[in-house]
Chain A
Amino acid sequence: AQSVSQHNHHVILSEAASLELGCNYSYGGTVNLFWYVQYPGQHLQLLLKYFSGDPLVKGIKGFEAEFIKSKFSFNLRKPSVQWSDTAEYFCAVNQGGSYIPTFGRGTSLIVHP
């Protein structure tokens, strides 16, 4: 069975620091990749997604993620975080052709002003 690993469970940063959250998956075939974010008191929402093409994907609010097939990774990055980025971040992976994503455990990000 496919698994998705988010190795950083809790991350604490100061504003303006750079962010990189790791996501690794176990499936070796075609994949669709997602990052979701859940701000405090809000619904889970899509941050960005990769289906094909340019492996560097731009999302909302200045986030980006890079698909590195050889490393089975889809790390999320932001060059300069803001207090408003405080949230829970989830990586999710679909095997190609599957409609059921496998989610990672999530990473809790706290940004100090």
Chain B
Amino acid sequence: GAGVSQSPSNKVTEKGKDVELRCDPISGHTALYWYRQRLGQGLEFLIYFQGNSAPDKSGLPSDRFSAERTGESVSTLTIQRTQQEDSAVYLCASSLYRGVIQETQYFGPGTRLLVL
């Protein structure tokens, strides 16, 4: 079946503009994650969804970042008033469910965001 997809694949924006990043998880995957990867760094956890609720938003770096999810489907990550330090690859991953054992996460191709 189809994997995790993300759009756009690349986004260049001006400082101060808002951007919206989209993630389409694998069908049936109830858990969805957003990560940020800055150049030369590891993946930084941003937010986790179980269904359409977000039990953990602890990774969101500031109140300029928000995310929502429709049911067990599409999620959008919105960055308001973008700053140059927001430039990074934003990765989305989904997994089957949150059980006692961590399920394998399936990653999308990422959105490369450049803030000028």
Q: Do A and B bind each other?
A: yes
Chain B positions 76 through 116: 1 when the CB is less than 8 Å from some CB of chain A, otherwise 0: 00000000000000010100001011101111111000000
How many residues from B make CB contacts under 8 Å with A? 27
Chain A positions 72 through 102: 1 when the CB is less than 8 Å from some CB of chain B, otherwise 0: 0000000000000000001010100111111
For the residues of B in contact with A, the DSSP-based class is loop
Query: Are the C-beta atoms of A43 and B104 separated by less than 8 Å?
Result: no
Interface residues on A, range: 20 to 34
Residues of B within 8 A of A90 (CB): 42-43
Shortest CB distance A47–B (Å): 11
Q: How far is the CA of A64 from the CA of B37 in the complex (A)?
A: 26
Of B40, B56, B107, which contacts A43 at CB under 8 A? B107
Residues of A within 8 A of B45 (CB): 100-102
Shortest CB distance B70–A (Å): 21
Query: Are the C-beta atoms of B98 and A103 separated by less than 8 Å?
Result: no
Q: How far is the CA of A94 from the CA of B105 in the complex (A)?
A: 12
Query: Are the C-beta atoms of B31 and A105 separated by less than 8 Å?
Result: no
Query: Are the C-beta atoms of A105 and B107 separated by less than 8 Å?
Result: no
Q: How far is the CA of A92 from the CA of B95 in the complex (A)?
A: 15
Shortest CB distance A82–B (Å): 23
A residues with CB within 8 A of B: 4, 6, 32, 36, 42-46, 49, 51, 90, 92, 94, 97-106
Q: A45-B106, A49-B104, A100-B33 are in contact. List 14 more A-B contacts (CB 8 A).
A: A4-B42, A32-B101, A43-B3, A44-B93, A94-B102, A97-B100, A98-B102, A99-B31, A99-B48, A99-B102, A100-B45, A100-B48, A101-B102, A102-B45
B residues with CB within 8 A of A: 3-4, 31, 33, 35, 40-45, 48, 56, 59, 91, 93, 98, 100-102, 104-110
